[in-house]
């Protein structure tokens, strides 16, 4: 079947521009002096080109601290959640036990609980029990994601044969030993995918930090940038520079691990 | 009740109940240990908060002192609160946009990306997915500038094409909703495309070949082969995008602040505003309970109707 592929590629290129143009415009704007950002027609290549926005941002704003806060929280939340998901996913994928169906349904139905439902009580509980410190409280919503467990369970069912586990059991390995030495290594690609996803969820989260963090020295990146965004002077130039810096780790992670991530994300959905 | 013995050929018997192949150790406490960390966190950070929300919704509380028991008064007030009605209505609009516009669009893009012998598939797929990984702040900032009445790109383009500009994108109630919908479209379409693309790549080739032999055209192949095969993926994507859109917060909060005249106020924004700007914790909790009942009920109903999330794989 040979068909003229031109219309197809035309559509794909248009979509490509549509999805990426706003980001390219932001990137180019971050190298322009404030007065030039709104120039029309929009110039893709900054002229005059300047690094002043980045310099000002890094010297006059606590950007480094925001970045540290965001990254540490995201790394801790990711580590905990990936481990929790792998354990539970394995439990659901490879064991039979009393109450399995009910427990699975309870886990799965938590996907249908919007975060806004627990926003107020979670805040109240953590603050009243003295656990409201951002270092702890910011990771809380991300540590037990049902979607991650579902994804792991699907992946384990598809990719780890029972015979391997049986052989290890016959050799007298302990259940946790089997998990650590056999299952985890085999799960590496999908753990990577889940980790990227969880990292991005935490790193880009906005509502929970907005509610929780009042001390500006503990702002995460989105909060810090928001203060520039809504400040009196509307420092668009700095926000653009900050947003570009903030997005770099996210995009880099994604581009490096996109294959595993895109495949991992769809594992649960396709077979579901 | 015993574990399946794998035959010498490495084949296991396929039972209708896939659970048969799962291991059941003697003294079977191992599986409970594996799933216990999740349930511990789940009880602490999900179940207890939902319970507290129910209790708080029956009280009046400013965040200090002791909550005052007021019974169902918060719910009675919500029933007549015009702002809450607006928030529900706007959120319903965003949900409809997600399910009726973004989902079909994602399916069409996936169909285009699934074309045989397509070059640079990975590049397209990656480019369309990128919007979901960027910070909502950047999204709000960039689109805030694009929709700006004086300097915005959107109006500049309109002026260049049609000679008219000065459209008040974020200042007009209807256009503000359209703007939010456009941002949602930009952010979520590529993400949902990934699921559809994976689903399309799993459609057995034989089905397409059979359709070709029957002389079905492209449209008929799509409706008789592709769509039925995609049913599980579509169910998943519809429910996921419904749940996401039902709790939308960042786009309206950052782009329009819920305005103009509450025309883009979402339920999550309403909850946030009540609790953290007006110190009405009981009232916010009641709104959260309403949201919970609506979203949880509807998505469980969808799951039941469409049959996803079965415990067995």
CA B9 to chain centre: 44
B-interface mutation test, from A21, A109, A114, most B Cβ less than 10 A away:
A114
Chain B stretch 77-136, residues whose beta carbon is closer than 8 A to a beta carbon of chain A: 109, 112-113, 115-116, 118, 122-131, 133-136
Which tops the pLDDT comparison, B40 or B157? B40
From chain A, pick out residues whose CB is under 8 angstroms from the CB of B251: none
From chain A, pick out residues whose CB is under 8 angstroms from the CB of B134: 23, 204, 243, 247, 250-251
Quote the pLDDT of residue B284.
Answer: 96
The Cα A54–Cα A19 span in angstroms is 25
Quote the pLDDT of residue B40.
Answer: 95
**Packing angle of the helix pair A63-94, A184-203 (nearest 10 deg):** 140
Tally C-beta pairs within 8 A across A and B: 335
From chain A, pick out residues whose CB is under 8 angstroms from the CB of B232: 269-272
From chain A, pick out residues whose CB is under 8 angstroms from the CB of B115: 5, 8
Quote the pLDDT of residue A232.
Answer: 65
The Cα B48–Cα B6 span in angstroms is 44
Whether B248 contacts chain A with CB within 8 A: no
B113 near A5, Cβ under 8 Å?
A: no
Quote the pLDDT of residue B5.
Answer: 32
Quote the pLDDT of residue A272.
Answer: 46
Cα distance from N-terminal residue to C-terminal residue, chain B: 19
Quote the pLDDT of residue A2.
Answer: 47
The Cα A60–Cα A228 span in angstroms is 12
Percent of chain B beyond pLDDT 70?
89
Where would I find the H helices in B202-280? Answer: 205-213, 218-221, 227-229, 231-246, 250-255, 267-272
Of the candidates A97, A114, A120, which has its C-beta nearest B284's C-beta? A120
Of the candidates B113, B130, B146, which has its C-beta nearest A251's C-beta? B130
Task: Retrieve residue A120's tokens.
Answer: 């107020």
Quote the pLDDT of residue B247.
Answer: 93
Of the candidates A112, A158, A255, which has its C-beta nearest B299's C-beta? A112
Quote the pLDDT of residue A189.
Answer: 83
Chain B stretch 253-292, residues whose beta carbon is closer than 8 A to a beta carbon of chain A: 253-254, 267-268, 271-272, 275-276, 281, 284-285, 288-289, 291-292
Quote the pLDDT of residue B193.
Answer: 92
What mean pLDDT is reported for chain A?
87
Q: Which of B51, B313, B132, B42 is nearest to A81 (CA)?
A: B42
A224 near A63, Cβ under 8 Å?
A: yes
The Cα A186–Cα A175 span in angstroms is 16
CB-CB under 8 Å, A112 with B156: no
Cα distance from N-terminal residue to C-terminal residue, chain A: 33
A129 near A66, Cβ under 8 Å?
A: no
The Cα A44–Cα A25 span in angstroms is 6
Quote the pLDDT of residue B17.
Answer: 44
pLDDT per residue as tens digits for the range B190-241: 999 989 998 898 888 888 888 888 888 888 888 888 888 888 888 889 998 9
A183 near A85, Cβ under 8 Å?
A: no
- Nearest-CA distance from A30 to chain B in Å? 11
Task: Retrieve residue B188's tokens.
Answer: 């979520």
Judged by phi (left if over 0) then psi (alpha if -120 to 50, else beta), residue B143 lies in alpha
Angle, vertex CA A155, rays to CA A151 and CA A159, nearest 5:
175
- Nearest-CA distance from A183 to chain B in Å? 13
Q: Which of B100, B96, B110 is nearest to B222 (CA)?
A: B110
Band of pLDDT at residue B308, cut at 50, 70 and 90: low
Strand partners, B60: B68
pLDDT per residue as tens digits for the range B71-85: 999 999 999 999 999
Other beta carbons less than 10 A from residue B211's beta carbon: 18
Quote the pLDDT of residue A39.
Answer: 67
Percent of chain A beyond pLDDT 70?
94
From residue A111, alpha-carbon distances to A146, B24, B300 in Å are 6, 28, 10
CB-CB under 8 Å, B146 with A91: no
Half-sphere exposure of B280 (CA within 13 A, CB side): 16
Task: Evaluate if residue B4 carries a pLDDT over 80.
Answer: no
Q: Which residues of A184-213 are buried (b: 16+ CB within 10 A; e: fewer)?
A: eeebebbbbbbbbbbbbbbbbbbbbbbbbb
Band of pLDDT at residue A3, cut at 50, 70 and 90: low
DSSP annotation of A139 reads T
Band of pLDDT at residue B30, cut at 50, 70 and 90: confident
The Cα A177–Cα A45 span in angstroms is 57
Task: Retrieve residue A203's tokens.
Answer: 């790193």
Task: Evaluate if residue B12 carries a pLDDT over 50.
Answer: no
Strand partners, B59: B69
Give chain B's radius of gyration (CA, Å): 25
Long-range contacts of A9-13 (CB under 8 A, 24+ apart): A11/B112, A12/B112, A12/B113, A12/B124
Quote the pLDDT of residue A238.
Answer: 86
Peptide bond into B260 cis (omega under 30): yes
């Amino acid at each position: 079947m040979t068909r003229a592929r031109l219309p197809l590629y035309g559509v794909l290129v248009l979509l490509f521009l549509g999805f990426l143009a706003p980001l390219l415009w932001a990137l180019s704007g971050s190298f322009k002096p404030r007065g030039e950002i709104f120039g029309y027609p929009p110039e893709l290549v900054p002229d005059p080109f300047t690094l002043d926005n980045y310099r000002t941002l890094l010297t006059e704003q606590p950007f480094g601290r925001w970045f540290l806060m965001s990254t540490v929280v995201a790394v801790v939340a990711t580590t905990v959640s990936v481990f929790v998901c792998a354990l539970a996913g394995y439990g659901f994928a490879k064991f039979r036990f009393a109450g399995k169906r009910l427990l699975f349904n309870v886990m799965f139905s938590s996907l249908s609980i919007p975060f806004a439902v627990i926003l107020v009580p979670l805040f109240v509980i953590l603050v009243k029990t003295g656990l409201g410190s951002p270092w702890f409280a910011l990771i809380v919503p991300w540590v037990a994601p049902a979607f991650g467990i579902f994804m792991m369970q699907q992946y384990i069912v598809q990719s780890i044969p029972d015979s391997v586990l049986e052989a290890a059991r016959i050799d007298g390995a302990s259940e946790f030993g089997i998990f650590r030495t056999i299952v985890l290594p085999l799960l590496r690609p999908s753990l990577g995918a889940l980790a990227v996803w969880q990292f991005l969820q935490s790193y880009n989260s906005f509502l929970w930090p907005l509610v929780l963090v009042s001390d500006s020295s503990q702002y995460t990146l989105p909060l810090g940038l928001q203060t520039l965004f809504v400040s009196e002077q509307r420092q668009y130039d700095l926000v653009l520079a900050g947003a570009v810096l903030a997005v770099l780790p996210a995009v880099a992670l994604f581009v490096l691990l996109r294959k595993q991530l895109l495949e991992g994300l769809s594992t649960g959905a396709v077979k579901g | 009740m015993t574990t399946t013995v794998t035959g010498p050929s490495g084949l296991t018997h396929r039972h209708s109940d896939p659970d048969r192949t799962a291991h059941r150790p003697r003294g079977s406490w191992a599986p409970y240990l594996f799933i216990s960390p999740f349930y511990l966190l789940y009880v602490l950070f999900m179940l207890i908060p939902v319970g507290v929300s129910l209790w708080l919704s029956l009280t009046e509380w400013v965040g200090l002192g002791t909550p005052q028991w007021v019974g169902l008064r918060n719910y009675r007030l919500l029933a007549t609160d015009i702002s809450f009605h607006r928030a529900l209505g706007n959120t319903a609009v965003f949900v409809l946009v997600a399910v009726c516009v973004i989902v079909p669009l994602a399916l069409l893009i996936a169909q285009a990306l699934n074309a045989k012998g397509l070059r640079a598939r990975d590049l397209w797929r990656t480019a369309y997915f990128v919007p979901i990984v960027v910070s909502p702040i950047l999204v709000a900032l960039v689109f805030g500038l694009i929709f700006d009445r004086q300097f915005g790109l959107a109006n500049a383009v309109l002026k260049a094409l049609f000679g008219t500009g000065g459209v008040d994108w974020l200042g007009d109630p209807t256009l503000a909703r359209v703007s939010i919908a456009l941002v949602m479209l930009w952010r979520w379409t590529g993400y949902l495309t990934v699921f559809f693309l994976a689903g399309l790549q799993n459609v057995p080739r034989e089905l397409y070949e059979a359709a070709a032999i029957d002389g079905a055209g492209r449209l008929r192949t799509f409706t008789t082969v592709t769509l039925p095969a995609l049913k599980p993926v579509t169910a998943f994507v519809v429910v996921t995008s419904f749940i996401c859109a039902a709790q939308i917060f960042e786009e309206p909060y950052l782009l329009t602040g819920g305005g103009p005249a509450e025309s883009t106020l979402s339920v999550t924004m309403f909850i946030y505003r009540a609790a953290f700007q007006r110190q009405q914790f009981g009232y916010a909790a009641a709104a959260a309970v309403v949201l919970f009942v609506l979203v949880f009920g509807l998505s469980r109903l969808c799951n039941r109707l469409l049959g996803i999330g079965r415990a067995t794989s």
